[in-house]
Structure 1
């Protein structure tokens, strides 16, 4: 897969969706250049102050919308990047460097199945990759998603992903709740690692993992113990 070189660009802040107290989604429309090619799973770096400090955020929209992009922002850190984004007014211009990153789905015929594993905001690049494979590339391979969260209220894309699984028979969605508030929750409980241990894992599979460092370490350990080759383990760490 040929990936574009990162370049400097400007974009206008167009829309903000507040999913809950933890996550917001920001939409930017490219100004200069007007369009830019990127691959699902890549990220951009935004200049967040006059000193030139930058913060990186994964793109959660698909590459076919190349005149702009959407970012999922984890509000919990309340660091420099979050404070800058929250200060933006609609129509404000931001300075961006991108696209960047190698966390993408390669053209690999040996990966006959795709398994995506995410926790928290790690769902951002994963969602873009899954939508790109299903809706844009019309990938017919079996695709499985495990999304680990604490509570049901954190699953802001639950309905969208559930509807996606109903529209595409080759896509399976497994939300995993470590602290479900609903006693009637019948889906996966615990951590994503618990779900992986209990579910049969298909052979000839590419694994795409994004989330906190501990989850990443635990999942990679399980998959390596099961004999998954390192060339089929694709991952990105979210802090």
Structure 2
């Protein structure tokens, strides 16, 4: 494992007042990070960045606002090292790590001009901030500030990190019991519904949680592939009720976000799996993107593409409760976007759900001969209904999909609230504080 050789630069250096200060440097543990991009998407000052392998924190930008800490599904973001303020770990050093370095000793800090007596050391910390002002003095709209880090009050207890780099078991082996394509065959948009069985190994999950799958082999640097995160698409009692199994929604990646050809390591591995194959799994992850359980709860789900996975899980759990006669009341509303209906996973099954059970709204942005429509456009068309739901303390909003959709969706909620004479800032903060607005974008 590569460890940092970072040493305080002393020798003939002149130690000034800044170098004698102590920095509580924010770092990310690469051993348990699942590269989900939550931290980078959440950071309001763009202090977090990544390469093809590691996520890292720029000490010159980090202002200790802690916005990234609660949403992290694994806790990898909540790591700190006492460093000389003039000599923090560089981005280059952090990008080379496979594990966090040990704490510097008092002797090493003293060599760098930092007093070993903590009482006599100036600890540097920036003033927390939640936005960066634009050139005209106005703050840009920051949708991430409304993202709840707490689950709904009635959510079931979530188990997390049962398997992983620092757990007793490094991974659990699951068996593929099904792999079905859920988009139209012959199209370039290839999405699969994968079913995994854990046998007798405990793997309790809830709707809204995720897992990590470890692809076999090594990367271009000869290092084992890191786990890729996928949202669970099945309800808490399994894709097949009464069995220890889950399902996932996986899109085969054949190009990057710029449209350049690329073959996604994990997605292609998963989409090509056959029944009977074994898969290494870590997790589960996630403690906040959980559905409410109280009967009055309304759920508004807004998603694109494979962001439909947690929405499918929530919908199926509600459907099973309804069929058993154990759940009455509470509305389900879905806004689902894709380029075309042929590229939308689960299109057929969704069409068969009863209209009095779920209110479904489809947005297609690439239908030939039709104007582009996005989920936020449909939300505005349904403003009258959404205003009433916004007024109810029993309504919960879940957003999942590409990062590019997040701002438009939250802006639509803000505008709809204003149309209904609701004060958005207080409402938005209330949605966050009561665990009722959850944003999971990537």
Q: Return the TM-score normalized by structure 1.
A: 0.86
Q: Conserved in 2, the CA contact under 8 Å of 1:10 and 1:32?
A: no
- Following superposition, the deviation at residue 112 of structure 1 comes to 4.2
2:213 maps to: 46
Q: Conserved in 1, the CA contact under 8 Å of 2:305 and 2:345?
A: no
**Correspondences of 1:121-136 after superposition (within 5 Å):** 121-136=306-321
Q: Conserved in 1, the CA contact under 8 Å of 2:192 and 2:271?
A: no
2:439 maps to: 235
Tell me, in whole angstroms, the C-alpha distance in 2 between the residues paired with 1:145 and 1:123: 10
Higher relative contact order (CA 8 A, sep 6+): 1
Q: Conserved in 1, the CA contact under 8 Å of 2:214 and 2:280?
A: yes
- Following superposition, the deviation at residue 88 of structure 1 comes to 3.1
Tell me, in whole angstroms, the C-alpha distance in 2 between the residues paired with 1:162 and 1:83: 28
The structure with the largest alpha-carbon Rg is: 2
405, 414, 418: which one aligns with 1:224? 414
Tell me, in whole angstroms, the C-alpha distance in 2 between the residues paired with 1:218 and 1:197: 11
Q: Conserved in 2, the CA contact under 8 Å of 1:141 and 1:170?
A: no
Tell me, in whole angstroms, the C-alpha distance in 1 between the residues paired with 2:266 and 2:175: 16
Unaligned stretches of 5+ in structure 1?
none
151, 159, 174: which one aligns with 2:340? 151
Tell me, in whole angstroms, the C-alpha distance in 2 between the residues paired with 1:32 and 1:181: 49
- Following superposition, the deviation at residue 134 of structure 1 comes to 2.9
Tell me, in whole angstroms, the C-alpha distance in 2 between the residues paired with 1:58 and 1:132: 15
2:198 maps to: 30
Tell me the SS of whatever aligns to 1:95.
strand
- Following superposition, the deviation at residue 189 of structure 1 comes to 6.1
- Following superposition, the deviation at residue 139 of structure 1 comes to 5.0
Tell me the SS of whatever aligns to 2:377.
helix
Q: Conserved in 2, the CA contact under 8 Å of 1:30 and 1:67?
A: yes
Tell me, in whole angstroms, the C-alpha distance in 1 between the residues paired with 2:347 and 2:327: 22
Tell me the SS of whatever aligns to 1:236.
strand
1:4 maps to: 159
**Correspondences of 1:86-97 after superposition (within 5 Å):** 86-97=271-282
Tell me, in whole angstroms, the C-alpha distance in 1 between the residues paired with 2:327 and 2:225: 40
- Following superposition, the deviation at residue 46 of structure 1 comes to 0.9
**Correspondences of 1:151-230 after superposition (within 5 Å):** 151-166=340-355, 169-181=356-368, 190-199=373-382, 200=384, 201=386, 202=389, 203-204=391-392, 205-225=395-415, 226=417, 227=424, 228-229=427-428, 230=431
Tell me the SS of whatever aligns to 2:309.
helix
Q: Which has the higher strand share?
A: 1
Tell me the SS of whatever aligns to 1:115.
strand
Tell me, in whole angstroms, the C-alpha distance in 2 between the residues paired with 1:235 and 1:60: 17
Tell me, in whole angstroms, the C-alpha distance in 1 between the residues paired with 2:369 and 2:314: 30
**What's the C-alpha RMSD, in Å, of the aligned pairs?**
2.3
1:105 maps to: 291
Large movers: runs of 4+ above 6 Å: none
- Following superposition, the deviation at residue 151 of structure 1 comes to 0.7
- Following superposition, the deviation at residue 80 of structure 1 comes to 1.5
Q: Return the TM-score normalized by structure 2.
A: 0.48
- Range moving further from structure 2, 60-69 or 219-228: 219-228
Aligned length: 230
Q: 1:81 to 1:125 in 2, by over 3 A?
A: same
